[in-house]
Amino acid sequence: MKAERGVPGLKTDEILWAGEPCDPRHLFGRSAPLEIEIGSGKARFLIEAARTNPSHDFLGLERSLSYYRICRARVARAGVTNIRVLRADGRTLLECLPARSVHALHVYFSDPWPKKKQRKRRFLDGATLELLASRLEPEGLLRIATDHADYGAAVASLCETVGSLERLEWDRYPEPPLTHYELKYRAEGRPIWRFLLRRV
């Protein structure tokens, strides 16, 4: 990995993923259904999901250095062996994975970039949804959640443009563990927009 400019003293694993090939079998030392969370934050979903599904491997991606450090520390304390965490941009990492190699993708409460001039910075757009779909195995699942109404409306429209994804009711499969954000937003009574998509 190449060192980031202007950020001295990073540990090797803290350097942002630069686009090398990624082999999950090498990361986990086995071949198992792979689930990826893009934007793992404080790792609550990762840890609970991995504990519940020990036969699956869970890869957490976190671009923010401060949140990556929190996530890494909490995963280490949890001692769950089927989790790995990488400091990586979600698009960059997914482009390094083979097509149809992921069992499930999770995108929870990504930054909504609410101002009109910021919207181009949102993680989810048409091209990214196509990329996510291409990495899912047949009948693989993509779960998305947001508390931002405009972002939720935009995602709903985008989902209609990707022919390889079909939208299902959120409760079609068992509900995934909640993230820290969802626990917080539920307590505040905020409405949450949820999307469950399956690769056809």
**How is residue 157 written in tokens?**
């429209």
- Residue 97 corresponds to which tokens in the numbers above? 């994975």
Q: Which helix (H) or strand (E) holds 57?
A: strand 57-61
CB 88 within 8 A of CB 3: no
Q: What is the Cα gyration radius of the chain? A: 16
Q: Is 111 a catalytic residue?
A: yes
Catalytic residue among 23, 57, 89, 111: 111
Angle between helices 65-78 and 44-52 (to 10 degrees): 30
Residues 6+ apart with CB under 8 A from 13: 72, 86, 87
Residues belonging to the active site: 111
